Amino acid sequence: MDVYRKLKEKISLLFRPSAQFSIFTLVCIGLITGVLGILGFNYSLEATNTEPFCTSCHEMYAQPLQAVQTTAHYNNKTGVRPTCSDCHVPTAFIPKMIRKIEAANEVWGHLIGRIDTPEKYQAYLPEMKQREIDRMRANDSSGCRSCHDTARMVFELQSAKAQQYHGAMESQGKTCIDCHQGIAHTYSETKQH
């Protein structure tokens, strides 16, 4: 019972007025700390969404970046080029936070050398690829849709086959990744569906 009373006394200290600082000072300190915390948090989110950050690990530079450089998503006639985060990090806050937490596993993989050689990378590639495909299916290919809006597509400018597939996508419960696997990263074993 003595431990409980001591704990209660320590907690009650949090709710007593300060003898050294006015309420105004404490509120100002709280606001400044909050603003600096939010700015720092936002800065870290933005900094970890850049291509230089994503490819700062040699295994990300040596494998996926080089693979994407051979695709139309990297070099094309329009000059539009998505970065890693455009496809792999959602823009909405809660899904973005979930993805950032999941990315901690990728940082851990870097630290333990999970894919630090081309051989290890190739061995682990099917699992990484399937995880991304599953994630994209689950979020209705939100990464693709951040640039490609099917509601704004002019089907008449597409091939007959593309018109057929894009037109039937919703009625068949399909999403971008179902037909466009491997379009952003080309690997020797990548298979189109």
What pLDDT digit, counting tens, does each position of 125-171 carry?
A: 899 889 999 999 999 898 888 888 888 888 889 999 988 888 888 78
Q: What is the pLDDT of residue 187?
A: 64
Q: What is the pLDDT of residue 28?
A: 94
pTM: 0.70
Place 1 in a pLDDT band, splitting at 50, 70 and 90.
low
- Region 45-71: mean pLDDT is 84
Which of 50, 189, 49 is closest to 127 using CA atoms? 189
- Region 104-113: mean pLDDT is 86
pLDDT higher than 60, residue 188: no
